[in-house]
């Protein structure tokens, strides 16, 4: 069974993107083993502390290595990638030993797909920024830039988060494409 690691680009307790990751896990159901990366304690990337890797970085790398694929669910911050997620990806983009450029990173060659629960832009900016970054990290981006969702305005005002049938269908289609890529 495909092992999928969810990475949520928000630390917010009631994060819409965490809720979307749960929705995706429900869609995947029994067809995948889904886990979520907890990286709240990750330090800021700083080359002074890069080797040996801090424990939180080693844990994040081990979780990535144990997964067949990575599914990123992220908000859009100022039309781009939230800082916490960019910090994580910067850590994961690095070689495991100093100057070991041939050894690669844990992300290199790994299959990845991206969804964004955002405002009116439906995450267009963050999806485009991430596509460029993940391809730069030599990951295999499945499903193009991914699926962007405009969160229902009531949810922003404290009401319930609701996915429209079209949004759920888009996530379902993305899940099928990702499973096919992981199983193929
Ligand atoms: C610093 C900051 C910048 C934001 N910029 C954008 C943006 O460019 N586009 C957008 O759709 N929403 C933007 N938002 C609103 C987020 O989409 C909204 O806060 C969303 O709930 C965050 O996702 P989460 O619920 O998973 O934390 C921004 C929010 C913050 C805090």
CATH classification of the domain holding 10: 3.40.50.360
Query: What is the pTM assigned to this prediction?
Result: 0.98
- Rounded to an integer, the average pLDDT of 76-105 is 96
Domain that holds residue 10: 2-183
Tell which residue, 22, 24, 13, 63, has the closest CA to residue 42. Answer: 63
Q: Number of folded domains in the chain?
A: 1
Residues whose beta carbon lies within 6 Å of some atom of ligand 1: 10, 12, 15-17, 75-79, 117-119, 121
* Gap from CA of 70 to ligand 1 centroid (Å): 22
pLDDT per position as a tens digit, 109-133:
999 999 999 999 999 999 999 999 9
């Amino acid at each position: 069974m495909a092992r999928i690691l969810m990475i949520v680009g928000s630390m917010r307790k009631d994060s819409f993107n965490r809720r979307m990751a749960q929705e995706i896990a429900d869609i995947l159901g029994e067809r995948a083993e889904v886990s979520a990366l907890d990286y709240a304690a990750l330090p800021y990337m700083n080359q002074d502390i890069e080797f040996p890797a801090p424990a939180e970085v080693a844990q994040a790398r081990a979780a990535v290595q144990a997964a067949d694929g990575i599914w990123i669910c992220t908000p859009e911050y100022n039309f781009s990638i939230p800082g916490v997620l960019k910090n994580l990806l910067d850590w994961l983009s690095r070689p495991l030993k100093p100057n070991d450029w041939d050894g690669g990173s844990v992300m290199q060659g790994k299959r990845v797909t991206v969804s964004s629960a955002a405002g009116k832009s439906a995450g267009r900016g963050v999806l485009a920024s991430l596509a460029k970054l993940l391809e730069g990290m030599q990951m295999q981006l499945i499903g193009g830039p991914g699926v962007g969702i405009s969160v229902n305005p009531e949810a922003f005002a404290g009401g319930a988060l609701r996915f429209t049938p079209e949004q759920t269908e888009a996530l379902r289609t993305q899940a099928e494409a990702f499973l096919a890529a992981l199983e193929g």
